[in-house]
Structure 1
Amino acid sequence: MRFSITGLSVLLSLVATSSAETASEEMLRNIDTFARYAAFGYCDHLVDGRNINTGTKVCSGGGIPGGCGDLQDAVVVMEFPSSEGAAGYVALSNKTQQIVVSFRGSKPGRDFLSDVNTCKTRTPKFLNFMQGAVDWVARGMQDNMDKISRPIISNVVKAACSVLGGAVIDTSDPLFPICPDCQLHSGFYEAFKGLKDKMLETVKEQKAAHPDFEVVVTGYSLGAALATLGAAYLRKAGFVADMYTYGSPRVGDAKFAEFVSNQRKGKNFRITNANDPVANIPWQDAGFGHVSPEYWFPQGLAAKEMQVCSGTDNLQCSGSFPFNLHDVAGGKARMKPHVWTEYAIGFPFTGPSACPGRSGRKGNPEDSRPFSEEEVAAMRRLASEGAEE
């Protein structure tokens, strides 16, 4: 018997379950704590690999109302940048007795045009994404894009414009594939492949030195996708690892999502905020599934009211808000649910001033003109080529 992807999605959504709950103070504290670890992954100073094993503090307290909270004594014990632009660090906290692995997604805008280029050969939604982009350009795209940053836009495109499979699996690694017959987002897998060895080695060393400490893996946005792979990988290596992800895109197919959801060595906390559009890419009709359960805060995390949705392909919770290009074109107001300050309660991450040590990220992340005229022209050309094929 043959089922279409759309039919399968509808079937899975029917068996998905949801329940309304009030998040406990402990859960909210944990969500806030690991959102902060994830946000600090965007400080270059913590992930550039230049100060390995120097005890750099994760949080300095500068520019952060209320201070560092549970990150007060956390120090970086390993940094791991990669040639793919993704990065991360491992931190140790004696106060909370935790080993925390934090991932950052690909460096914003690193290969934006190559990401866009893949759209023209994908499912109809990918092609429509590019065709919509051309219309957007014609209507004065830069006016809307002045309101949101290049990192957000380019990361959305990177997540959307990729496919299941297509990557060369590292057959020399006994932990791969993570699960039999699973397929992964090709871009996320390639990024993770450059980080996994150093991550695993560091966690082994820290657990040997601190056997009673918990292992927690976290990440925001595309870093959340890498954190999903990281947690699954560490569990397969024998570690108990909890996972906290924020605004995660879909990482693999339904088999992968089901496998990670059912791993017994650690709990999954896939946190979503309101109508975060990034939580709905890549699309289900391209074969992707989500890790379960989802902890959805429809009115924002500060409201404490959440809905728990189970099922790897549920169309409830944040899944009830499909992603379209106009979500990006809508500017800052529409993309606000995905901004990291919406996930870390009362944590207005203010950029370089909040980063410890060196000044942090270079340049202005809120670039008033996110794309050059050359990039806009290339987007038009790529979309035109896709429409002709």
Structure 2
Amino acid sequence: MIANLQPAAINAVIQKEVAKSRQDPTTSVPPTEQLPVNETANGPTNSLQKLIAIGGDDLKNAELYQLYSAAAYCLNGLDGWICKDRCAGGTLGTKLISKFVDSKTDTVGYVAVNPSRKEIIVAFRGTSSITNAINDLKFFKADANVGLSRLRAPDGAKVHIGFQSTVTASRSAVRAAIQKAFQQYGTDYTITVTGHSLGGATSVLTAIDIVDWLGDSAGKTLKLYTYGEPRVGNSIFANWVSTLPFASHVYRITHTTDIVPHLPPKSFGFQHHREEFWISKNGDLNSCNDANGEDPQCAGSVFIPTIDAHLNGYFSMPFGPWC
């Protein structure tokens, strides 16, 4: 987990990156930005509407994939699927296909199958090291088309360069594990990609990479569940995500005062993609109105974000290496 997300600490890293940007005219980082403590949502202002709490299968699935995301912090317990409460309940019976760790980018995750659901799960861990923290707080942007061969993002679509590097680092391992799962269990298995924090950002870009690799037919059944996801790219990229084959199966879940969905700052040219679902203080999972930008009633309503809400309160399971 990120150890220090106090505004002063974040601004210290920002200013370090800003100093680099003055020496590099190609960078996307504005030269004098500071992270506001009370950043509220923006983009086009949405008409305020009463939040609608969701339940039924939508809520059950959000809770289920939160367990799979949390399990990515527990690689040592995944071989026999014995990671305590994260390997129980709806995840019981899951079979590990492969774990992967890239030491350079500290990208960590796994691919597994749930035979009872005929599903392949690709899960990514969140930040838990200095290397990840540095990647999280670099606000340089890169062309969203890097690494893609079939899909084409619109001109001007940009993504966080650190997040993009995690996908580059894990691409071969993820594809090999999915191919192995298809060979062992059948090509009729669907794919769900999930992750927390930095792992949520990696999940978004990995979902795109899978569609680029397997095509639209796989993309139409692919599901994406992220928890405490930071902003991945600019507004052009965010709008493009909503046009992709899996767009109707995107669940970007946020929680009360979680600080990470407020990073990188909007003032640096970043914007969240749809669809946000916000866990409010009463524990309801609410569908947000983010069709025209980030909803000011959901995570955008927060004035003083906190790190505790990033680790605790996403349903019943805390995020972190408590396995």
Give TM-score scaled by structure 2 length: 0.75
Matched with 2:265 is 283
**Which amino acid counterpart does residue 173 of structure 2 have in structure 1?**
K
Question: What is the SS of the residue equivalent to 2:158?
Answer: coil
Matched with 1:216 is 192
Matched with 1:272 is 254
Aligned equivalents of 2:92 and 2:150: distance in 1?
34
Per-residue Cα deviation, 1:123-160 (whole angstroms, up to 9, x for no partner): xxxxxxxxxxxxxxxxxxxxxxxxxxxxxxxxxxx434
Out of 120, 136, 140, the position equivalent to 1:163 is 140
Deviation for aligned residue 1:261: 1.9
Aligned equivalents of 1:216 and 1:12: distance in 2?
29
| 5+ residue gaps, structure 1 | 47-54, 116-157, 328-333, 355-389
- Is 1:335 matched up with 2:307? yes
Per-residue Cα deviation, 1:287-330 (whole angstroms, up to 9, x for no partner): 11111011112225xx335142223632511023257xxx5xxx
Matched with 2:291 is 311
Per-residue Cα deviation, 1:42-70 (whole angstroms, up to 9, x for no partner): 12426xxxxxxxx8233x263x39x7111
Sequence identity (%) = 22
Aligned equivalents of 2:145 and 2:243: distance in 1?
25
| Structure number having the greater helix percentage | 1
Map 1:1-389 onto structure 2 (within 5 A): 12-15=43-46, 20-45=51-76, 56-58=79-81, 60=82, 62=84, 64=85, 68-82=88-102, 83-110=104-131, 115=134, 158-165=135-142, 169-170=146-147, 174-175=149-150, 180-208=155-183, 209-237=185-213, 238=215, 239-240=218-219, 241-265=222-246, 267-299=249-281, 303-311=283-291, 313-316=293-296, 317-321=298-302, 327=305, 334-339=306-311, 341-343=312-314, 345-348=315-318, 351-352=321-322, 354=323
Report which of the two structures shows the higher radius of gyration computed on alpha carbons: 1
Per-residue Cα deviation, 1:58-98 (whole angstroms, up to 9, x for no partner): 3x263x39x71111111210112112101111010112221
Aligned equivalents of 1:74 and 1:275: distance in 2?
32
Deviation for aligned residue 1:168: 10
Deviation for aligned residue 1:27: 1.7
Aligned equivalents of 1:211 and 1:168: distance in 2?
27
Aligned equivalents of 2:143 and 2:319: distance in 1?
36
Aligned equivalents of 2:47 and 2:98: distance in 1?
39
Aligned equivalents of 1:56 and 1:295: distance in 2?
32
**Structure 1 residues 89 and 175, CA gap change in structure 2 (3 angstroms):** farther
**Preserved CA contact (<8 Å) 2:65 2:194:** yes
Deviation for aligned residue 1:174: 1.8
Deviation for aligned residue 1:25: 2.7
Aligned-residue CA RMSD in angstroms? Answer: 3.0
Give TM-score scaled by structure 1 length: 0.63
**Preserved CA contact (<8 Å) 1:250 1:281:** yes
Aligned equivalents of 1:166 and 1:271: distance in 2?
26
Aligned equivalents of 2:156 and 2:224: distance in 1?
23
| 5+ residue gaps, structure 2 | 1-29, 31-39
Structure 1 consecutive aligned stretches of length 4 or more whose deviation exceeds 6 Å = none
Question: What is the SS of the residue equivalent to 1:290?
Answer: coil
